[in-house]
Amino acid sequence: MERSWHVTVEIDLERIARNGQEIRRQAGVPVIAVVKADAYGLGALAVVKHLAEVVDRFCFFSLREAMEAQLLASGKAGMTLGPPDADGYGAEMFMTHGVRPAVWTVEQAAALTRARPILAVDTGMQRFACPVETTAAVSAAGGCEEAFTHATTLNAVRQLRAIAAANGGRWRLLHAAGTQLLHEAEARLDAVRPGLALYRGAARVSCRLADARASLGPVGYTRFASGRHGVILAGYSHGMGTGTCLINGQTRRIVEVGMQSSYVELAAHDKTGDEVVLLGDTLDEEEVAREGKISPQQALVRLTGMGQRRYASRTVLGI
């Protein structure tokens, strides 16, 4: 996917830090910040640098992501969620970069013992985690002192606790709660792993109307009907989808998406050059997600990857 030169992605690093502080205050346990997928498109290098004094640890999908985000310079430890051998790195590289890999097979655990692997337990996700019946063997092979699961329900959290009890309490630290379960005290265990909750309200994505005119009959490839319409310079090659946007503070519809441009329905007073807000102000990730029939996480990553980044807290980046 390419980035449009006509779309601006404004990122408020201070808002991310405040979100992290509020999560820590509410949860009352250590915070493991999920910064995988380039911090959900907001830029892991900048986010890690800005959150280092707020959170306890960082969570990536792969060691390669941690290296690209310069985790070592942050002074914080990290962990990974994805296949630990996907990039061909061994225990030495994980140790060098201060990252502990998640493991779910005896072979992975044995190969990465020196890197102090973390046991990933399957409580229903059926991906990147070991089934209940192999947890003891995998944990023993890697000398695992910590275990976690991907939980979207309290039942999954309870499963992890039951599995830990059945294993004789060998794990000194358990975590399961991501964004969806942060409000549940029972789910917080020994730490929480927020992702989307860190980034809510921190990104504003906008562009300008490249054209605005009265519609003379059916419009576009789909021949949609509209009294007035405009064009923005972002299309499906940039990740654009149909849905909602804001123009002059009012809700408008993105009605058709082309390769590098899209049609927007307009009111009588909307004109060429007016700002079109695709995310931000009163339009949040949840609303974009509902309109696009996708998850809020997907909505955020799609929109933040659409244009050129600008950071509000530039001094943090040393630029």
39-72 confidence digits (pLDDT tens): 999 999 999 999 999 999 999 999 999 999 999 9
pTM for the model: 0.93
Average pLDDT rounded to a whole number, residues 132-158: 97
Domain boundaries, the chain: 57-190, 203-311
Exposed/middle/buried for residue 208 (C-beta within 10 Å: 0-12, 13-18, 19+) = middle
pLDDT at 314: 46
Q: Residue range 263-277: average pLDDT?
A: 98
| Mean pLDDT across the chain | 95
Q: Under CATH, domain 57-190 is a member of which superfamily?
A: Alanine racemase (3.20.20.10)
**Of the CATH numbers 3.40.50.300, 1.10.3720.10, 3.30.70.1170, 2.40.37.10, which one belongs to the domain with range 203-311?**
2.40.37.10
Closest CA to 123 of 187, 38, 212: 187
**What is the pLDDT confidence band of residue 317, given thresholds at 50, 70 and 90?**
very low
φ, ψ of residue 261 to 5 degrees: the values are -150, 165
Look at residue 259 and tell me whether its pLDDT is greater than 70: yes
Least Cα distance to 120 among 82, 84, 148 occurs for: 148
What is the model's pLDDT at position 283? 97
CB 14 within 8 A of CB 311: no
> Three-state SS for 262?
strand
Q: What is the pLDDT of residues 205-251, one digit of tens each?
A: 999 999 999 999 999 999 999 999 999 999 999 999 999 999 999 99
Contact between 106 and 140 (Cβ < 8 Å): no
Tell me how far apart the alpha carbons of residues 61 and 39 are, in angstroms, rounded to a whole number.
10
Least confident of 2-6, 74-78, 154-158, 312-316: 312-316
Q: Does the structure show a pLDDT above 80 at 316?
A: no
Q: Which two tokens stand for residue 202?
A: 């921190």
The pLDDT-based confidence of 145 (bands split at 50, 70, 90) is very high
Relative orientation angle of helices 296-304 and 285-292, to the nearest 10 degrees: 100
| Ramachandran region, residue 262 (left: φ > 0; alpha: ψ -120 to 50; beta: rest) | beta
Distance, in Å, from the CA atom of 32 to the CA atom of 16, rounded to the nearest integer, reads: 14
Degrees, nearest 5: CA angle 147-195-311: 140
Q: Is the dihedral of CA 117, 123, 124, 125 positive or negative?
A: negative
Question: Hey, what are 22's tokens?
Answer: 């509020």
* Structure-token pair, residue 176: 């399961």
Q: For residue 139, with 0-12 CB atoms within 10 Å meaning exposed, 13-18 middle and 19 or more buried, which class applies?
A: buried
Question: CA–CA separation, 205 vs 286, rounded Å?
Answer: 15
Report d(CA 232, CA 257) in Å as an integer. Answer: 10
pLDDT-derived band at 318 (thresholds 50, 70, 90) equals: very low
Q: Is pLDDT of 319 > 60?
A: no
Please give the pLDDT value at position 313: 57
**What is the distance between the alpha carbons of residues 179 and 40, in angstroms, rounded to a whole number?**
13
pLDDT of 117: 98
